[in-house]
Amino acid sequence: MICFSQNKTIDSLENVIKNYKTEDTTYVDLRTKLVARKMFLTPTDSTWMDYNLKTLEISKKLDYSKGIVLALNSIGIIEHYFKSNPLKALDHYQDAYTIIEKHPELDKYSVGVLTNIGLIHYEQQDYKKALTSYKALLKYPIHRTNTYFNIGNIYGHQKKIDSSIFYYKKAIAVADTVKQILHIANIKSNLGLVQTNAGYMVDGLNNIKQSLELVENHKLEVLRVSAYVNAAEVYLKNNIIEKAEYYATHALELNKALNNMATKNSALATLANVYESKGDYKKALTAFKEHIVLRDSVINADRKLEISRKEIQYEADKDRAISQVEIERQKSIKNTSIIGGSALIFASLIGFILYRRKQEAVTKTKEAEFNAKVSDTELKALRSQMNPHFIFNSLNSIGDYILKNDTKSASDYLGKFAKLMRLTLENSEKSEILLSEDIALLKMYLDIERKRFEQKFDYTIEVEKSLDPENIMIPPMILQPFIENSIIHGLSQTNKKGSIIITFKKQNKMILCTVDDNGVGREKTNSITYLENKKSMGMAITKSRIDIINKVKKTKGDIKIIDKSQGTRIEVLLPIQLVY
């Protein structure tokens, strides 16, 4: 009956708009009401963009601020959710919020706009900034359902399970008082996933079932894909494989119309695990390969950097506008002072000089913050470039095992590889990790490579006694490109048993990391040309990482390549960063 009533209201609105003959503010309000009630019910309708652009055009002709704000926000939603383009969406959201700031009477519309901006931070995994945005929105009681829900999502991704469940339940309680069926279904879907991941299997499964029931009974098409993705993961964790496969495959099929990359990425990851559980390693590998490639498109450092640039540019434009107003005010004061007397002229000049100095100081501070953010994002971008080469080599090795019908080796290799990828993903957003964690990653990487090269080499990792691996931070996988080079260009070309010795020693206030191999050396493999060639991406990226660290920390980190009579030695000098 709720759906029937809503359809009747929508039909009535459409008839009123169709018969309305004057393009005035009432006409704009009717159009925005229709968008609010129908757009999310038909997200695949490609005509919504033109519809909202026309509303924006009419609102601008009428100089109707409310209409402009709502149209910009709706266009941002289409770019954000329907077209998976958060960069374009951010432009529209920020334009809308700029108008709201100039018109205090429009403050109530800031909730939707700020929520959407917060969601962009959330989707790009900048949880700290997203959490700050959402907690600021708690001052608007009428919108607390959505705010509690978003805070619950953030805590869920931060693995703060108790806090996540607490806010989800608060959101359900508020939504239930006003019978917000759409919100209840969405919250229960996410709550079920978080509870399942936390080990509350019965509660999680119950909430997922209730969410799916609401989606089916009330035809909540806008939630169907995300609900199916969450359901697939929950059923997989409960070892109900057939249902997990059903919801994952149907989520992918339904997502074709929406083309939401984040949703497709999640569904593929779940499907890969489903196939692995069924012992279908070939399908598992295919799904996992597609997931890995898509994951790098969903969240990448370039997109985060561009979003950061847009935010900083938005703040800078706002500051310039404020500065311009202030300059105009100073001019008026100056003109008045000229009439009033030379003493006032002198005072005005002094005030203007002080004001300019303050503005210059603010500008320099913003520039420093921007450079720091760019440096941090560049480091993340460089780290992300190192992953694909090793990933695809390993996937090809797994493929070879499958083609040879060596399922035991394929399963063992895939298990080790998945564990390494999980740890790598967990550390991908970190500029530094514990030395002990990095050593564990290197051991896992070396074990995989030893299996790939059929135990052709051995390795040892030595840490000087004066160093505490649990109290020293270093950039993650900084030695991996050099170890890879030793294996591929040194040890793989020798007929005898290879050896790699990795050491960590203290040198003044720096840590000296070395990779020593007994391979054929650079001259015999023509690796000198290779290292100077564009193919040596890993070496070049590592050098760039150290250059950025030197710039940010004002240190003198360095890389040295030493040719031995038998093999090669790499020395990497890094600043010591203690945890406490």
Q: What is the pLDDT of residues 64-118, one digit of tens each?
A: 999 999 999 999 998 887 887 888 888 898 899 899 989 989 988 888 888 888 8
Q: What is the pLDDT of residue 301?
A: 42
Query: Cα(97)–Cα(89) distance, rounded to whole angstroms?
Result: 12
E-only strand ranges, 359-454: 433-434
- Chosen domain end from 384, 405, 431: 384
Is the domain of 335 the same as that of 228? Answer: no
* Bigger pLDDT: 1 vs 322: 322
* Bigger pLDDT: 175 vs 265: 175
* Bigger pLDDT: 429 vs 63: 63
Q: Does the pLDDT value for residue 264 go beyond 60?
A: yes
According to DSSP, residue 489 is labeled: I
Tokens of 184: 């209840």
* Bigger pLDDT: 89 vs 333: 89
Q: Does the pLDDT value for residue 234 go beyond 90?
A: yes
* Bigger pLDDT: 321 vs 468: 468
Is 516 within a domain? yes
Q: Where is average pLDDT lowest: 120-129, 158-167, 309-318, 547-556?
A: 309-318
Tokens of 146: 């959505």
pTM assigned to the model = 0.43
| DSSP per-residue codes, 145-194 | HHHHHHHHHHHHHTT-HHHHHHHHHHHHHHHHHTT-HHHHHHHHHHHHHH
SS3 476: coil
Is 191 within a domain? yes
Residue 298: pLDDT band with limits 50, 70, 90: low
CATH value at residue 397: 3.30.565.10
- Chosen domain end from 181, 211, 246: 246
Average pLDDT value for residue range 247-262? 81
Is the domain of 11 the same as that of 119? Answer: yes
Phi, psi at 39, each rounded to 5°: -60, -45
- Chosen domain end from 246, 267, 284: 246
Is the domain of 83 the same as that of 100? Answer: yes
> pLDDT tens, 29-71?
999 999 888 887 787 788 999 999 999 999 999 999 999 999 9
Q: What is the pLDDT of residue 482?
A: 87
Is the domain of 438 the same as that of 515? Answer: yes
Which of 78, 69, 64, 147 is CA-nearest to residue 107? 69
Q: What is the pLDDT of residue 413?
A: 81
Q: Does the pLDDT value for residue 535 go beyond 60?
A: no
> pLDDT tens, 373-425?
555 545 454 444 445 556 776 777 777 777 777 788 778 888 888 887 777 77
* Bigger pLDDT: 63 vs 4: 63
Between the alpha carbon of residue 320 and those of residues 152, 315, 324, 363, the distances in Å are 36, 9, 6, 10
Instruction: Put the strands of the sheet holding 472-474 in their side by side order.
Output: 433-434, 472-474, 577-578
Q: What is the pLDDT of residue 306?
A: 53
Query: Cα(385)–Cα(540) distance, rounded to whole angstroms?
Result: 11
Q: What is the pLDDT of residue 299?
A: 52
Is the domain of 501 the same as that of 545? Answer: yes
Residue 538: pLDDT band with limits 50, 70, 90: low
Is 273 within a domain? no
Is the domain of 237 the same as that of 324? Answer: no
Is the domain of 212 the same as that of 113? Answer: yes
Average pLDDT value for residue range 119-129? 81
Q: What is the pLDDT of residue 308?
A: 54
Phi, psi at 119, each rounded to 5°: -65, -35
CATH value at residue 106: 1.25.40.10
Show the 3-state SS of 376-391. HHHHHHHHHHCHHHHH
Domain containing residue 367? 302-384
Is 209 within a domain? yes
Q: Where is average pLDDT lowest: 48-62, 336-350, 396-410, 535-549?
A: 336-350
Q: What is the pLDDT of residue 372?
A: 53
Q: Where is average pLDDT lowest: 78-87, 309-318, 332-341, 448-457?
A: 309-318
Which of 421, 436, 570, 573 is CA-nearest to residue 500? 570
Is the domain of 398 the same as that of 371? Answer: no
Tokens of 281: 């390693």
Number of independent structural domains in the chain: 3
Is the domain of 535 the same as that of 549? Answer: yes
Is the domain of 186 the same as that of 44? Answer: yes
Maximum mean pLDDT: which of 171-185, 228-242, 269-283, 298-312: 228-242
Residue 119: pLDDT band with limits 50, 70, 90: confident
Share of the chain above pLDDT 90, in %: 23
Which of 170, 68, 79, 145 is CA-nearest to residue 116? 79
Q: Does the pLDDT value for residue 548 go beyond 50?
A: yes
> pLDDT tens, 557-567?
899 999 888 88
Is 254 within a domain? no
Q: Tokens 């040596």, residue?
A: 536
Residue 27: pLDDT band with limits 50, 70, 90: very high
Is 420 within a domain? yes
Is the domain of 418 the same as that of 435? Answer: yes
Q: Does the pLDDT value for residue 330 go beyond 80?
A: no
Is 282 within a domain? no
Instruction: State the pairing for strand pair 472-474/498-507.
Output: unpaired
Q: What is the mean pLDDT of the chain?
A: 80
Which of 376, 384, 386 is CA-nearest to residue 536? 386
Q: What is the pLDDT of residue 455?
A: 87
Is 284 within a domain? no
Q: Where is average pLDDT lowest: 115-129, 311-325, 463-477, 566-580?
A: 311-325
Is the domain of 238 the same as that of 313? Answer: no
Enumerate the H helices of 299-341 as residue ranges. Answer: 301-340
